Amino acid sequence: MMRVFVIALIVIAGLAIGVYRAKLGAQDNEKRIEALRGEIRDAQEEISVLKAEEAYLARPERIGPLASERLGLAPSSPEQFTAPEMLSRRLGEEGSIPTEASSVSGETGASLP
């Protein structure tokens, strides 16, 4: 009878130690989860600030003058646009490019400069 009692005490002590270790592990995991949630919040705030900054820097009224001053670019003129019907003639003037059908059959055309 005494043997059963000692074995039961050892089993209960082992279970108590196991529960205590599980509790400590769960607390550590909770701390890590909270730290990660804080990092996620910080990253989301940083993303929203960067998106706002991108929107501010990408404004057309800001980019237009910069493109003119630094790159020498100007707004598009109507002569730069071509109707779809006129594309083949305009491409013929500049050089021919391989069409999808000739690429499939293995033929090549002259390339654009």
56 contact partners, CB below 8 Å, separation of at least 6: 62
**Which residues, 6 or more positions from 110, have their beta carbon under 8 angstroms from its beta carbon?**
95, 96
pLDDT band per the 50, 70, 90 thresholds, residue 83: confident
Reported as a single tens digit per residue, the pLDDT across 8-44 is: 999 999 999 999 999 999 999 999 999 999 999 999 9
Distance (Å, whole) CA 99 – CA 88: 11
Determine which helix (DSSP H) or strand (DSSP E) holds 35, and give its type and residue range.
helix 2-57
Conformation bin of residue 95: beta by default, left when phi > 0, alpha when psi is -120 to 50: left
pTM exceeds 0.75 for this model: no
| pLDDT for the residue 106 | 47
Indicate the average pLDDT of the chain: 84
